[in-house]
Amino acid sequence: MAGAKADLRFLKQLALNSIEATAMNPVEKSEAREKWDTLWSSFLDRVISIYEPEYFEYAQNKSNFY
């Protein structure tokens, strides 16, 4: 289904499409989207807090990683 280069943008769009394609009524979809947005933001905050220091270390020392 997803190619080898699928990333967080792909996962986000897949989730949003799932909410839109569901049999929920418009109010339920809106509530689901709001809840999903909150959870997605929390997820991204966690990913950034875990991997951002590692990324900056890599970016500053690229030559040491090759």
Whole-structure pTM value: 0.71
Give the pLDDT band of residue 63 (cuts 50, 70, 90): low
The reported pLDDT for the residue numbered 6 is 78
Picking from 15, 14, 54, 6, the residue whose alpha carbon sits closest to that of residue 38 is 15
- Amino acid symbol at 59: A
Question: Is 80 exceeded by the pLDDT of residue 16?
Answer: yes
The reported pLDDT for the residue numbered 62 is 62
Can you tell me the mean pLDDT for 21-34?
A: 97
What is the separation, in whole angstroms, between the first and last Cα of the chain? Answer: 32
Strands (E), 1-66: none
Q: Please give the Cα distance from 19 to 40 (Å, whole number).
A: 13
Within 8 A by CB and 6+ apart from 12, the residues are 40
